[in-house]
Amino acid sequence: MDWFDSLGAFGAVLKVIILIIEVVMVFNLMILVHEWGHFLAARWRGLHVDRFQIWFGKPIWKKTINGVQYGLGCIPAGGFVSLPQMAPMESIEGEVVTDEPLPPIKPIDKIIVAFAGPLFSFLLAAFFAVLVSWLGKPESDAVTTTTIGYVLPDSAGAKAGLQAGDRILEIDGNPVKRFQGLVDSVSWAVIASEGEDIVFKVERPEAGTMEIKVPAQTARVESKPLPWWRSIFQRPQLKEVGITGREAAVVGSVQENGPAAEAGMQAGDKVVSVDGRTIYNPLEVMDMIKKKGDQPLVIEVDREGKKVKLEMQARLPDQRPADFDRKLVGIVWQGDAEQTLVHPSVGQQLSLASRSMYNMISALVSAKSDISASHMSGPLGIGRVYFSLFQRPYALQWVLWFSVILNVNLAIMNLLPFPVLDGGHITLALGEAVRGRPLQGRFLEVVQTACVLLLFGFLIFVSVKDVGDWFGGSKDKGKAEEIRWLSPEERSAAAAEKR
């Protein structure tokens, strides 16, 4: 979508509109397929189908075809197939009016119809997984590595002795295979740890294998209490130890007239060392630049296979915001450096998605875990992820891969034995089969209505947290556009004006 930039402000607005439409289309596809499963199963088992609606609420569009009202609701969250013989669902689906009483259906029919929705969500995930296996999934060393790239100064990890270059083998006795993700990853093992200390088994270059015990700490420390209205939007703190994974420090661009440009640094250069110290992450470079202050530093880069040493000295940008006091060298790092496409099998993708959901549910129900419902996301949060993925390189591959994860999660979540969910319908049908008769209609209606209110309350709760995420970015965002380095001639002219 780079050509949108040439259209100025209109292009920026048009780009956002198109991205939002893309996100809505992906959401609606997942809802449509899930509800289509219920619809086809209901037709197969001979149930009366009253309505097929995408989104909840009063329909803003509807049309009746062959006795079924198809519609689009006004609340953009989920959808439903109105099947009055399944259970009383008037609180979500509205009242159903029929010419004559509908006959009861067998428990097996209820189970088949309820299970069909999650089944179709899982089949859609499998379809997306086939596409991912064919088109590929972007991965970078920053995600798949288990080597520490940077240790935040004064963090728990730094104080315990973790170092950049350490390769993490196990955390709390569990092997790790990657740095990010919900399965066998360093980040998840730290976040989901249940003890006061986290035990790292690492392999250090030239030192061998060792165990390091790191006290768990929360990710944010507020200098003063937040106003009550801000705390409502903020998610609870999670454990961290102050480490990030190894990532190639590749220069994306060099700011004109800055120290790096004057020293001869070029876009595409890969920083391999600073003052003789091996670099494992771009954050290490920035940390060393900050520590050096006014002293010159020697940066060694890999330029198309050749090692080049560049000497430079950080300084304040000539034009900068009034509150900006950091000395820089004038480089911008390349995001998602050195991405490659991998082609995981369909089975690997579905297994990974299922295990990630299992890990999340296990952490949610564990009394020792810090992870709670406050860390979950609703449609707004998921839409925000899609909005971001659509703007990345390899956007299609990213969207397909995330859709595999999301549809498996959707299938599993809907199978939970909670009234109004598909798993709740299955549980009630099994109880009916054992008892030989269904629950009383009035009692069931009260339970279903109460659960609907709980479900919508939870949806509002997580949506509030999702909104809070939008305002949790860095305060330095946008300041890069205000920074500028002057040429020697411009600096001389500016100095002459001051005199």
pLDDT at 51: 87
Are 132 and 49 in contact by the 8 Å Cβ rule? The answer is no
pLDDT at 443: 72
Tokens linked to 31 = 């809802």
Least confident of 114-123, 223-232, 341-350: 223-232
* For the ranges 174-183, 286-295, 468-477, the one whose mean pLDDT is highest: 174-183
Longest dimension (CA), the chain: 97
Tokens linked to 80 = 């439903």
- Residue with tokens 């509030």, as numbered in its chain: 464
What is d(CA 381, CA 391) in angstroms, rounded to the nearest whole number?
16
What is d(CA 205, CA 144) in angstroms, rounded to the nearest whole number?
19
Domains of the chain (ranges, CATH numbers): 2-134+388-470 (no CATH), 143-245 (2.30.42.10), 249-337 (2.30.42.10)
- Residue with tokens 């900006």, as numbered in its chain: 324
Instruction: Provide the edge-to-edge strand list for the sheet that holds 61-65.
Output: 61-65, 68-72, 51-56, 75-82
The residue with greater pLDDT, 141 or 283, is: 283
Per-residue model confidence as pLDDT tens digits over 447-463: 777 888 888 888 889 98
- Range list of β-strands (E), 313-423: 331-333, 340-342
Per-residue model confidence as pLDDT tens digits over 367-387: 888 888 888 888 888 888 998
User: What confidence tier does 93 reach under pLDDT thresholds 50, 70, 90?
Assistant: low
pLDDT, average across residues 1-6 = 58
Residue 391 pLDDT greater than 90, yes or no: no
- The half-sphere exposure of 180 on its side-chain side, counting CA atoms within 13 A, is 11
**pTM exceeds 0.75:** yes
Helices (H) and strands (E) in the chain, counts: 15, 20
Are 393 and 138 in contact by the 8 Å Cβ rule? The answer is yes
Burial of 490 (0-12, 13-18, 19+ CB in 10 A): middle
Q: How far apart are the first and last CA of the chain?
A: 48
Residue 213 pLDDT greater than 80, yes or no: yes
In order, the DSSP letters of 259-303 are HHHHHT--TT-EEEEETTEEP-SHHHHHHHHHHHTTS-EEEEEEE
CB atoms within 10 A of CB 349: 23
- Which residue from 191, 187, 170, 158 is spatially nearest to 284, judged by alpha carbons? 158
The residue with greater pLDDT, 126 or 445, is: 126
pLDDT, average across residues 403-429 = 91
Contacts of residue 102, Cβ cutoff 8 Å, sequence gap at least 6: 48, 84, 85
